[in-house]
Amino acid sequence: MKLPDFDRRELERLHARRDFIQKAAAGTVLTAFGGGLYVLLDQLFGNEALAQTRDDGRERVPPGQRVISRLKPMGGEEGDTNPSAFALRVHGEVEEPFTLDWKGLLAMPQTTRRSDVHCVTGWSVLDAEWTGVTMKALAERARPTKRARHVIFEAAHGYSANVPLREALGPAAMLAHRLDGKPLAAAHGAPVRGVVPDLYFWKSAKWLTGLRFVSRDEPGYWERRGYHNHADPWKEERYG
Ligand SMILES: Nc1nc2c(c(=O)[nH]1)N[C@H]1C(S)=C(S)[C@@H](COP(=O)(O)O)O[C@H]1N2
Ligand SMILES: [Mo]
């Protein structure tokens, strides 16, 4: 099967870099790092995390991932980042469809929680601190029908990501408008993005415009382009 060219190149680059780091860490030529001191620091961070176990018993850092200290902006076609333009449609298989504007979003119970982010290209960020509204709170308001099985996260310019209901309503799943105490940056999906931390990060749609509950699964943007339909980092569900 054909992989998307951009991500394959990125993946190969990250692999090459990881090999290099492992060789360097094995013992020699620190001078070869030049400007790459932060790379070394990231590696030290990661090594500590490699020994940790999550509450659910899984290892903290999924296989094939390397820990870095902050999110990399991974691109995508930006939506309108102005909060006054924000309108989120909650629709599909729900008893009470509604549209949420910025004020409406802030009027809902606000949650701040730390979670780890795992990008399919090989980087992970630990303890990103997200503030926003939990998916559970939104679902309580919309009341998914008995037929609902998946949530399609809909975003600007037709981007979408499909997530099974179980994970979409999991304890860490939320709509975030702040990251690490600051309003979400444009590049990271301002004003509001989805956060589904226990699946690869492409499931966390930026510039969010809708949550559509569906009875039948519907592959999203990357899932239709060769990425795995489910995206569990611990099973390395990278490509379909
Ligand atoms: N709307 C939208 N959301 C998106 C994307 C996109 O292209 N458009 N890219 C996804 C991918 S592939 C990744 S890895 C993450 C990257 O998020 P970041 O740029 O905040 O690191 O966003 C995801 N959400
Ligand atoms: Mo990605």
Exposed/middle/buried for 220, CB within 10 Å: 0-12, 13-18, 19+?
Answer: buried
Mean of the per-residue pLDDT values for the chain? 88
Ligand 1 pocket, residue 202 CB under 6 Å: yes
* Ion ligand 2 residue ranges (Cβ < 5 Å): 74, 202
pLDDT in tens, 14-62: 444 544 444 444 433 343 444 456 566 666 666 778 889 999 999 999 9
3-state secondary structure 171-211: CCCEEEEEECCEECCHHHCCCCEEECCCCCHHHCCCCEEEE
pTM of the model: 0.85
pLDDT in tens, 61-79: 999 999 999 999 999 999 9
Q: Which atom of ligand 1 is nearest to the CA of 189?
A: 20
Nearest to 220 by CA among 123, 153, 146, 128: 153
Ligand 1 pocket, residue 119 CB under 6 Å: yes
Residue 172 has pLDDT above 60, yes or no: yes
Q: For residues 79 and 123, what is the distance between their CA atoms, to the nearest angstrom?
A: 25
Which residue's CA is the nearest one to ligand 1's atom 13?
202
pLDDT at 49: 81
Listed range (32-36, 130-134, 173-177, 198-202) with the worst mean pLDDT: 32-36
β pairing state of 208-214 and 87-92? parallel
Q: What are phi and psi of 32, to 5 degrees?
A: -65, -15
User: What value does the mean pLDDT take over residues 105-122?
Assistant: 98
Helices within 31-81 (DSSP H only): 37-50
Q: Which of 10, 206, 211, 227 to mutate to test the pocket of ligand 1 (most atoms within 8 A of CB)?
A: 206
Ligand 1 centre and the CA of 186: distance in Å?
11
Ligand 1 pocket, residue 231 CB under 6 Å: no
Ligand 2 centre and the CA of 147: distance in Å?
30
Which residue's CA is the nearest one to ligand 1's atom 24?
205
Amino acid at 208: L
Specify the 3-state DSSP secondary structure of 48.
helix
